[in-house]
Amino acid sequence: MQRKGTEVKQLSLFDALNKPAIFPTGGTGERNLTGAELLSQLERQRILTGNLLEAVVDYGNLHKAYQRVYKNGGSEGIDQMKVKELGEWLQKNFKTIREEVLQERYQPEAVRKVMIPKPNGGERMLGIPTVKDRLLQQSIHQILNRYYDPLFSESSYGFRQGRSAHQAIERACTYIASCKEWVVDIDLEKFFDKVNHDRLMQRLSKGIGDKRLLRLIKTYLKTGIMAEGLVEQRTAGTPQGSPLSPLLSNIVLDELDKELEKRGHDFCRYADDCNIYVGSKKAGERVMESLIKFIEQKLKLKVNRKKSGVRHCSTAKFLGYTLLPGGNVRVSDVSIKRFKDKVREITKRNRGVKFEQVIRELNTVITGWTNYFHLANRWLSTIRDIDGWIRRKLRCYRLKQLGRKYTIFKFLRGLGIPENTSWNVVMYSGGWWNMSKKRAVGKAMGITWFAQLGLQSVLQQITR
């Protein structure tokens, strides 16, 4: 069923969508919108989007969404359909799903509940939609993002094309370098689980004119979560794992951004991680108190007071880094601990994995970690110490693999260690870890030896 006038409006809508930016004074422009300008832009946007659902289920948009879902991969939802099966299903069912969506007959399926451990303890809930629902949510995300992203704050960096955590860190460094060394660190308690549906839908309705699309989004928000065969109804939250959640979270927290801009604060926000930079602890405490009231009373979100606080930049962490006075940067203690925990997992001596494979797995972790933390320019001696600690873990692993004392003796002799020294190592060390720190073992399996096996250096990678 097609409503009268849909075709004419659809054409003008697609013309609008093909423009680089509908509202040039938004988040990608030279200045932030005032409250009055934002309301005016949203009103114009609402008029333009009366038939936006047609754009969502346009074949080109769905095909682009399929490519993204396929690239992202991930496990199947409750219907067990795999990502690799989605392309064939879409070819066969495109017309059917398009009609169901446009006629508001499409019903999303429950998401599969998965609990994953948090690095600092506890668990985080992921909601895994079916691949069909991931396809539709990604399709909605692509269309809505063209309208909302240009309106977002310059200080918002998470889940936005062309923006990154590194940019957020660099901007934060400029604030600290300008003597705003005190950080108001706001931690939102279980943010993705606590988003208020009514406030979110109210905010969406101000800028989206197509009520059918709004009802579909609301249906997705209300979709239940299946755990152990039982479906739990959801009254709040946008579960992580949904392609639509990142955009919806930015729409929710854009209200916080606009409030901070109105008050003239310097801040950086990446998803639900928001830091405000001020000149003194006393000023930070005033800002903290007023922001908690705004967040809890206006946004209907919960601030975790135990994790939130006003801290000097040298004791705070932001996106895995600690930012130092003068705008210098080091890797945070927590990030180093998490990295070492990963190394411990890979180098467990009872794994029974070939030594070459252990090095390959370590290289993958080292490359990813150093690519992210390449902004660090202080406390590099800590990074150098990590290199030595990794080599010792590997020496211990290799010695355990060799097992018998005579085998270790022959191994050390083969690497040029004198006979008496080799015997002393195997006879008087008292355990693999103690043996691994012997000078002869370090000489045999030294930096050059590990380099020949292809082991990456954390320090060299992070400073390259």
Q: Is pLDDT above 60 for 245? A: yes
Report the pLDDT value the prediction gives residue 41, as an integer from 0 to 100.
Answer: 77
Report the pLDDT value the prediction gives residue 355, as an integer from 0 to 100.
Answer: 96
Report the pLDDT value the prediction gives residue 24, as an integer from 0 to 100.
Answer: 36
- Amino acid residing at 299: L
Report the pLDDT value the prediction gives residue 145, as an integer from 0 to 100.
Answer: 95
Position with higher pLDDT, 399 vs 6: 399
Percent of the chain having pLDDT more than 90? 75
Q: Is pLDDT above 50 for 18? A: no
Position with higher pLDDT, 211 vs 194: 211
d(C-alpha 439, C-alpha 273), whole Å: 46
Q: Is pLDDT above 60 for 460? A: yes
CB-based contact 454:378 (threshold 8 Å): no
Q: Is pLDDT above 50 for 21? A: no
Instruction: Specify the pairing of strand 182-187 against strand 273-278.
Output: antiparallel
d(C-alpha 40, C-alpha 49), whole Å: 14
* Residue 326, phi then psi, degrees to nearest 5: 90, -5
d(C-alpha 117, C-alpha 188), whole Å: 18
Q: Is pLDDT above 60 for 313? A: yes
d(C-alpha 209, C-alpha 140), whole Å: 14
**Secondary element (H or E) of residue 359:** helix 355-372
Which of 114-118, 187-191, 218-222, 281-285 is modeled with the greatest confidence? Answer: 281-285
d(C-alpha 105, C-alpha 92), whole Å: 18
Looking at residue 57, the DSSP 8-state letter turns out to be T
**Average pLDDT for 172-200:** 92
Four-residue CA torsion sign, 332, 334, 338, 341: positive
Query: In this structure, how many other beta carbons lie within 10 angstroms of the beta carbon of residue 131?
Result: 24
d(C-alpha 278, C-alpha 147), whole Å: 32
Instruction: Specify the pairing of strand 273-278 against strand 266-270.
Output: antiparallel
Mean pLDDT, rounded, of the chain: 88
pLDDT one-digit tens code per residue, 258-270: 999 999 999 999 9
d(C-alpha 36, C-alpha 34), whole Å: 6
Q: Which of 215-224, 228-237, 416-425 has the lowest mean pLDDT?
A: 228-237
**Average pLDDT for 331-352:** 94
Report the pLDDT value the prediction gives residue 47, as an integer from 0 to 100.
Answer: 83
Tokens for 304, please give them: 């975790």
d(C-alpha 139, C-alpha 132), whole Å: 11
Report the pLDDT value the prediction gives residue 19, as an integer from 0 to 100.
Answer: 39
Report the pLDDT value the prediction gives residue 40, as an integer from 0 to 100.
Answer: 75
Beta partners for 123? 117
pLDDT one-digit tens code per residue, 196-215: 899 999 999 999 999 999 99
Report the pLDDT value the prediction gives residue 2, as an integer from 0 to 100.
Answer: 42
Which 3 state secondary structure label does DSSP give 294? Answer: helix
- Residues 6 or more apart whose CB falls under 8 angstroms from that of 229 comprise none
Position with higher pLDDT, 275 vs 225: 275
Looking at residue 313, the DSSP 8-state letter turns out to be G
pLDDT one-digit tens code per residue, 416-450: 999 999 999 999 888 899 999 999 999 999 999 99
> Which spans in 265-315 are helix H?
281-293
Q: Is pLDDT above 80 for 195? A: yes
CA-only gyration radius of the chain, Å: 27
pTM for this prediction: 0.84
Number of residues written out for the chain:
464
Tokens for 442, please give them: 């370090």
Q: What share of the chain is helix, strand, coil (3-state, %, to 5)?
A: 55, 10, 30
Percent of the chain having pLDDT more than 70? 89
Looking at residue 188, the DSSP 8-state letter turns out to be B
pLDDT band at 14 (very low <50, low <70, confident <90, very high): very low
Tokens for 272, please give them: 């639900």
**Average pLDDT for 245-271:** 95
